[in-house]
Amino acid sequence: MTRNTNDLKSPRDSRVAEHVDSLPKSGIRDFFELVNSLDDVISLGIGEPDFVTPWHIREAAIYSLERGHTSYTSNLGLLQLREAVCEYVGGRYAVDYDPKNECIITVGVSEALDLLLRAIINPGDEIIYHEPCYVSYSPCIQMAYGTPVVIPTLESDEFALNPDDLRHAITDRTKAILLNFPCNPTGASMPIEKLREVAQIAEEHDLIVITDEIYSELTYDGEHVSIASLPNMKERVVFLHGFSKAYAMTGFRIAYACGPRDLIDAMMKVHQYSMLCAPTIAQEAAVEALTNGEREMEMMMSSYRDRRNVIVRRLNDMGLSCVKPKGAFYAFANITSTGLSCNDFAIALLKEHNVAVVPGTAFGQCGEGFIRCAYATSLDDIQTAMDKMELFVARNR
């Protein structure tokens, strides 16, 4: 049977699907267009390491090409990489996964999250997550036909998730909770007692837990504990992690998910019909990162820690209260003492002093009154940016 598609169209039909049409444009798009139109801006805006990928990892990518490794890999990813990932995750996070069927290699954590959401959501299922958060969570849930349910986190709780708020947010449509600690944009981590409570709630309500631990190696105070390692959690947690941040490999687009076999299998179905596999060169570079990358990773981490100490001290000294971030490379400073909205603050600072920071509302409405300053930039630039911000803040008191 042939169907005349024109018959299906009503005058209201748009070429764009409704659930995509209704997505808001990213809150920082206009702002970054302004940043790009100016010269000599010091940017504390970009959430990306300022280090180039360590040379031996780049060399592994070159060697991969030299050997002519230019074909697809298994859909799940190179077994050698899955084995290296599972060994690393077992050693560092104390959770054992089987590389044969509990691990999938993906094109960034971005793809891993998309695969998982598409694999688990029936239309209308609710996914709970905490804000301020990474800008993609809500749109990704919506693009998978889910309903995002937001729990605001507070400066007074050092931006940790309050388990009581989680209890209140759960309904009979709740399918999963999405956690991100250390957190972009707040740098928060979860105190172990709170993490245990969240785990218990997930078990009581039989929820899937999605944990995005992309910043976990960049933990400066205390020890990072993965919720996947807590008792009875392995069977309900999907652990997302990648190479972008800790190994400065954003452009390689390489990451992984570890989790229960049925969920990895479902993710694999979506992956094999959409992406097929992650780039072979990037997979081979990732093997090198896991095998020999520890020393550079520690070096970069220690450099971020020094920068964190400087930026947090400078922000607090100029009267912008800033909780000391426990991880990642972001300082989330409270600017309410200036009386400006976060947008006005960011635009005026940019226009008057050529310093770019991100307005807190880019990460959710509860980010009003805050700015995110990424400290993945040189100490000199951080000091200069802080000098300028200090003048700006003094003038706006």
Ligand X SMILES: Cc1ncc(COP(=O)(O)O)c(C=O)c1O
Site for ligand X, rule CB under 6 A: 47, 108-110, 134, 180, 184, 212, 214, 242, 244, 250, 255
The CB-nearest residue to ligand X is: 108
Q: How far is the CB of 80 from ligand X (least distance, A)?
A: 20
Measuring CA to CA, which residue among 257, 319, 252 is closest to residue 288? 252
Give the nearer residue to ligand X in terms of CB position, either 47 or 293: 47
DSSP string across 64-80: HHHTT--S---TT--HH
Residue 4 CA to residue 119 CA, distance in Å, equals 32
Q: How far is the CB of 58 from ligand X (least distance, A)?
A: 17
Q: What is the token pair recorded at 329?
A: 């490379």
Q: How far is the CB of 240 from ligand X (least distance, A)?
A: 8
Give the nearer residue to ligand X in terms of CB position, either 163 or 242: 242
Could you list the beta-strand ranges (E) of the chain.
42-43, 103-106, 126-131, 147-152, 174-179, 208-212, 237-242, 255-258, 330-334, 355-356, 358-359, 370-374
Cis before 132? omega within 30: yes
Half-sphere exposure of 176 (CA within 13 A, CB side): 27
176: phi then psi, degrees, rounded to nearest 5 = -155, 160
Cβ neighbours of 148 (radius 10 Å): 16
Cβ neighbours of 328 (radius 10 Å): 30
Q: How far is the CB of 295 from ligand X (least distance, A)?
A: 22
Helix or strand or coil: residue 188? coil
Q: Is 46 exposed, middle or buried (0-12, 13-18, 19+ CB in 10 A)?
A: middle
Give the nearer residue to ligand X in terms of CB position, either 112 or 119: 112
Half-sphere exposure of 133 (CA within 13 A, CB side): 24
Q: How far is the CB of 372 from ligand X (least distance, A)?
A: 11
Give the nearer residue to ligand X in terms of CB position, either 199 or 214: 214
Q: How far is the CB of 151 from ligand X (least distance, A)?
A: 16
Q: How far is the CB of 178 from ligand X (least distance, A)?
A: 10
Contact 132, 367 (CB under 8 A): yes
Give the nearer residue to ligand X in terms of CB position, either 27 or 318: 27
Give the nearer residue to ligand X in terms of CB position, either 178 or 340: 178
Q: What is the token pair recorded at 392?
A: 């700006």
Q: How far is the CB of 69 from ligand X (least distance, A)?
A: 22
Give the nearer residue to ligand X in terms of CB position, either 246 or 349: 246
Q: How far is the CB of 334 from ligand X (least distance, A)?
A: 21
Give the nearer residue to ligand X in terms of CB position, either 95 or 214: 214
Give the nearer residue to ligand X in terms of CB position, either 130 or 314: 130
Measuring CA to CA, which residue among 331, 330, 329, 361 is closest to residue 344? 361
